[in-house]
Amino acid sequence: MLTQKQYELLMLIDKRIREAGVPPSFDEMKDALGLKSKSGIHRLISGLEERGFIRRLPHRARALEILKMPENVGRGHAKDAEQTASTLPANVTPENVVRGDFGAKPTPAHTAPDNAPDNTTELPMLGRIAAGTPIEAISDPSSFVDVPPSMLAGGEHYCLEVDGDSMIDAGIFDGDTVVIQKTQRTENGAIVVALVDNEEATLKYIHKKGDKVALEPANPAYETRIFGPDRVQVQGRLVGLIRKY
């Protein structure tokens, strides 16, 4: 059974796909349902996905597909959808008919109710960061994460998903989400997001001594890397961690 808001969102998505060939944007969903923040849309989308009404297409940050409609809607919507698909231009496929302005991963099964108080802060998820060998620099937000305000340290923040095991002795595991305070200055011994040579980003302890910068792992299987100060830029420091079980 769907909640009223879940039903309204599903009807909105279905109507927009049938009329325009694409679902509404994330902001359009929020405004149409009268919600104050995008976190409410996250909860609704997760609830619809858990109940089997929609699914996010894998490896596509902005893709959504309707799998079924509520029984009380009748078959008119499904028939209209088939007719719409049959009249699409040749270069438009069912896969690219479902783009939307969102891409958050499904939340755990114990999601907050649709009418839950909005007492979290929404931070952009900028992608994956290596806790091991550095990877390409992080870039544009692909989704958003709800974070308790008590976890934030003031100023601007963002989130990253950890890829690798070089920080396991610091309690940071592969797949964890780290909360980063955006800053270019930090103290020795802090865990930071370091940008190396303007193209590789990694999560490590930082130590500065003289004209050298050391990026130290928390796993004896990895070596500490030493750089000149002009090769390393601090992009932020670790202030929190989120783990899903």
Q: Which of 166, 208, 212, 244 is catalytic?
A: 166
| Full 3-state SS string of the chain | CCCHHHHHHHHHHHHHHHHHCCCCCHHHHHHHHCCCCHHHHHHHHHHHHHCCCEEECCCCCCEEEECCCCHHHCCHHHHHHHHHHHCCCCCCCCHHHCECCCCCCCCCCCCCCCCCCCCCEEEEEEEEEECCCCEECCCCCCEEEEECHHHCCCCCEEEEEEECCCCHHHCCCCCCEEEEECCCCCCCCCEEEEEECCCEEEEEEEEEECCEEEEECCCCCCCCEEECHHHEEEEEEEEEEECCC
Active site residue 150: no
Q: Which of 204, 209, 212, 244 is catalytic?
A: 204
In this structure, which amino acid lies at residue 173?
A: F
How many CA atoms does the CB half-sphere of 18 hold within 13 Å?
A: 15
Retrieve residue 64's tokens. 């959504």
Active site residue 166: yes
Cβ atoms < 10 Å from Cβ of 108? 9
| Active centre residues (catalytic) | 166, 204
